[in-house]
């Protein structure tokens, strides 16, 4: 793993949260994107070298909707940048981590993503992210 790619925060209202975080960071979000497969709208902020991703559910049965129903708004996941997501999935499986999706899928912000179950990482949902390049388009 190279670095923290972003921190994901589950929110009830992207509109309200964009206003709040714009005031907090002193800068507007740079991107809003829908990820249909996950039932989520995302909004990204750049804070120094770091990124914050706000996540709003678009469907009642989406993972974000379930998270907010169970735990309320707040930190949802920590994402790490990796060079080779498939190799990292295999390495982490061999180390005993529970991988939620063994085949990377297209996520927001031009990334291939895969998740580790929080049960295997001290209660923290971990996202692996690899920048999509021409040679790794799904």
pLDDT in tens, 6-38: 999 999 999 999 999 999 999 999 999 999 989
Residue 101 CA to residue 105 CA, distance in Å, equals 8
Supply the pLDDT for residue 133.
84
Task: Give start and end residues of each alpha helix (H) in the chain.
Answer: 14-25, 63-71, 85-94
Selection from 29, 5, 11 nearest residue 115 by Cα: 5
pTM of the model: 0.91
pLDDT-above-70 percentage for the chain:
96
93: pLDDT strictly greater than 80:
yes
Pairing of strands 40-47, 111-116: unpaired
């Amino acid at each position: 793993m190279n670095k923290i790619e972003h921190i994901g925060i589950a929110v009830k209202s992207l509109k309200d949260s964009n206003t709040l975080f714009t005031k907090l960071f002193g800068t507007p979000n740079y991107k809003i994107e829908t990820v249909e497969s996950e039932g989520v709208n995302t909004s990204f902020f750049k804070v120094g070298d770091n990124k914050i991703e706000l996540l709003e559910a678009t469907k009642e049965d989406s993972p974000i909707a379930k998270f907010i129903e169970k735990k309320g708004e707040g930190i949802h996941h920590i994402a790490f940048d990796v060079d080779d997501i498939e190799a990292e999935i295999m390495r982490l499986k061999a180390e005993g981590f529970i991988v939620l999706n063994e085949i990377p899928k297209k996520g927001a912000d031009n990334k291939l993503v895969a998740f580790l179950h929080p049960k295997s990482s001290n209660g923290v949902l971990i996202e692996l992210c690899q920048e999509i390049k021409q040679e790794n388009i799904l």
